[in-house]
């Protein structure tokens, strides 16, 4: 058991916590990253790996801008991590498409994308609706069920596992302390004075960032914050390796740098149930084969399910405690996409001691009215 103090504590060593911890350490803060043991739910190890912009923020243009800002930060983050750690997160940002199977899907998608452009106003929103004949020249082997797609230049993908490992290594190489088996079970909060208890010891700091994924729901109220996140299950299938064939990712099908093809991913409201479900897996495979019939020739070599970290409105939660200055929360269901923003935009704000007004719409205070209702 150890007892230790530092300038900042980050609770949660998934993609969100690791990106923020890395950013804080890079700004010179003596930082502890406290992480639960292997019993944890870890979205960061079970996700699809998209760095995805085009569908984010309908009705919430501030989220679209934040996501796009993150996509802009990603090349710098990836290059920095590769140079510092030798671990390249395999970022590719060739643009991406959302395939539409049938006219109804195409019309619906066209309407959504038009609304996104309208809401983006002066910031602009670059996209095109593309019909199947043109799309066939961009993505080989499309099935006849695909009538078209939305395309945007902002989208891409990366290896989420390499990203997570690189963030952890960059953090510890820079002098940050990663403490595993350190589930925060209790503690006290006072302005700029936080003490937490864990099975690995007791830790104190004037600044604390709650980035514990689904664990934030229970932790946040202890620190004058709220994080009403729930699990949402997603299932993913992975094929054997194939020759390099897909030049860009789609929302549910992407070829990894190693050549496997990932097929995903469902959205299931089943609480903390992590079991896989054959009917859902069959539906994922069916849609993939309708999109690219040649996928039926490939063997599925892996499949899993994982739990997303979802706020009631699906948007991230970034907050700072009014009661206990120095306490922050960070939650999102796009921790790969937002890694650039978390390491390079959010962490500097936390290091300065306050979130910029641009993040005000992401405060969990937006749910207070609906809870009362």
Ligand X SMILES: Cc1cc2nc3c(=O)[nH]c(=O)nc-3n(C[C@H](O)[C@H](O)[C@H](O)COP(=O)(O)OP(=O)(O)OC[C@H]3O[C@@H](n4cnc5c(N)ncnc54)[C@H](O)[C@@H]3O)c2cc1C
Please, are residues 223 and 189 in contact by the beta-carbon 8 Å criterion? yes
Please, are residues 63 and 113 in contact by the beta-carbon 8 Å criterion? no
Q: Given the rule CB under 6 A, which of 84-92, 200-208, 210-218, 345-353 is the region that contacts ligand X?
A: 210-218
Q: ∠ CA(209), CA(215), CA(219), 5° rounding? A: 60
Q: For the stretch 305-333, what's the b/e string if a residue is b when 16 or more beta carbons lie within 10 angstroms of its beta carbon?
A: bbbbbbbeebbbbbbbbeebbbbbbbbbb
Q: Given the rule CB under 6 A, which of 23-31, 95-103, 300-308, 356-364 is the region that contacts ligand X?
A: 300-308
Q: What is the DSSP string of 49-60?
A: -EE--TTTTTT-
Size (the chain), residues: 373
Q: Which of 26, 73, 155, 265 binds ligand X (CB under 6 A)?
A: 265
Indicate the residue among 49 and 326 with the shorter CB distance to ligand X: 49
Query: Please, what is the angle between helix 160-173 and helix 61-85, to 10°?
Result: 60
What do you get for the CA distance between the two ends of the chain, in Å? Answer: 45
For position 16 contacting ligand X by CB under 6 A, the verdict is: yes
Q: Which of 90, 205, 237, 307 binds ligand X (CB under 6 A)?
A: 307
Please, are residues 149 and 105 in contact by the beta-carbon 8 Å criterion? no
For position 220 contacting ligand X by CB under 6 A, the verdict is: no
Which DSSP letter does residue 79 get? H
Q: How far apart are CA 64 and CA 57, in angstroms?
A: 5
Provide, rounded to whole angstroms, the least separation between the CB of residue 193 and ligand X: 19
Indicate the residue among 110 and 246 with the shorter CB distance to ligand X: 246
Give the up-direction half-sphere exposure of residue 366: CA atoms within 13 A in the CB hemisphere. 16
For position 336 contacting ligand X by CB under 6 A, the verdict is: yes
Indicate the residue among 167 and 355 with the shorter CB distance to ligand X: 167
Q: Which of 212, 225, 317, 364 binds ligand X (CB under 6 A)?
A: 212
Q: Which of 9, 22, 33, 49 binds ligand X (CB under 6 A)?
A: 49
Q: Which of 71, 334, 343, 362 binds ligand X (CB under 6 A)?
A: 334
For position 184 contacting ligand X by CB under 6 A, the verdict is: yes
Q: Which of 35, 73, 155, 319 binds ligand X (CB under 6 A)?
A: 35
Indicate the residue among 132 and 208 with the shorter CB distance to ligand X: 208
Q: Given the rule CB under 6 A, which of 32-40, 71-79, 81-89, 220-228 is the region that contacts ligand X?
A: 32-40
Indicate the residue among 135 and 227 with the shorter CB distance to ligand X: 227
Q: How far apart are CA 280 and CA 236, in angstroms?
A: 10
Helix segments in 124-159, DSSP class H: 132-138
Taking the CA atoms of residue 232, residue 274, residue 16 and residue 311 in that order, the dihedral angle to the nearest 10 degrees is 20
Which candidate, 241, 250, 236, places its Cα nearest to that of 299?
Answer: 241
Q: Which of 57, 95, 156, 234 binds ligand X (CB under 6 A)?
A: 234
For position 284 contacting ligand X by CB under 6 A, the verdict is: no
For position 327 contacting ligand X by CB under 6 A, the verdict is: no
Six-digit token pair at 62? 């501030």
Q: How far apart are CA 41 and CA 212, in angstroms?
A: 10
Please, are residues 220 and 21 in contact by the beta-carbon 8 Å criterion? no
Six-digit token pair at 191? 């302005």
Q: Which of 8, 10, 32, 42 binds ligand X (CB under 6 A)?
A: 42
Provide, rounded to whole angstroms, the least separation between the CB of residue 93 and ligand X: 13
For position 319 contacting ligand X by CB under 6 A, the verdict is: no
The 124-163 site mask, x for binding ligand X (CB under 6 A), equals: ----------------------------------------
Which DSSP letter does residue 240 get? P
Q: Which of 24, 32, 33, 46 binds ligand X (CB under 6 A)?
A: 46
Q: Which residues bind ligand X (CB under 6 A)?
A: 11-17, 34-36, 40-44, 46-50, 52, 182-184, 211-213, 215, 219, 234, 236, 265, 306-309, 331-337
């Amino acid at each position: 058991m150890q007892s230790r103090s530092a300038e900042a504590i980050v609770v949660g060593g998934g993609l969100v916590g690791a990106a923020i911890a890395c950013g804080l350490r890079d700004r010179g803060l003596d930082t502890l990253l406290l992480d639960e043991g292997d019993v944890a739910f870890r979205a960061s190890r079970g996700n699809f790996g998209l760095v995805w912009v085009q569908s984010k923020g309908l009705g919430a243009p501030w989220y679209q801008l934040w996501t796009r800002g993150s996509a802009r930060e990603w090349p710098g983050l990836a290059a920095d991590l590769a140079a510092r750690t030798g671990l390249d997160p395999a970022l590719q940002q060739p643009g991406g498409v959302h395939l539409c199977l049938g006219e109804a899907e195409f019309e619906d998608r066209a309407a959504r994308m038009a609304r996104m452009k309208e809401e983006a106003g002066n910031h602009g929103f670059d996209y095109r609706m593309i019909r199947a004949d043109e799309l066939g020249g961009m993505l080989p082997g499309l099935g006849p069920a695909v009538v078209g797609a939305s395309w945007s230049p902002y989208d891409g993908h990366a290896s989420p596992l390499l990203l997570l490992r690189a963030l952890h290594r960059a953090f510890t190489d820079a002098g940050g302390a990663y403490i595993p088996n350190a589930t925060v079970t209790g503690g006290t909060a006072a302005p700029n004075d936080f003490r937490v208890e864990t099975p690995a010891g007791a830790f104190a700091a004037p600044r604390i960032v709650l980035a514990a994924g689904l664990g934030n729901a229970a932790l946040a109220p202890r620190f004058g914050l709220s994080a009403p996140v729930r699990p949402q299950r997603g299932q993913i299938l992975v094929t054997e390796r194939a020759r390099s064939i897909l030049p860009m990712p789609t929302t549910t099908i992407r070829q990894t740098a190693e050549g496997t093809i990932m097929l995903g991913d469902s959205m299931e409201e089943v609480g903390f149930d992590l079991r896989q479900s054959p009917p859902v897996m069959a539906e994922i495979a069916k849609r993939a084969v309708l999109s690219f019939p040649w996928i039926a020739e490939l063997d599925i070599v892996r499949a899993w399910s994982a739990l997303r970290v979802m706020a009631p409105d699906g948007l991230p939660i970034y907050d700072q405690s009014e009661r206990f200055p120095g306490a922050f929360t960070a939650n999102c269901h796009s921790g790969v996409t937002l890694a650039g923003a978390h390491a390079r935009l959010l962490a500097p704000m936390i290091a300065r001691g306050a979130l910029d007004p641009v993040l005000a719409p992401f405060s969990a205070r937006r749910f207070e009215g609906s809870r009362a209702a």
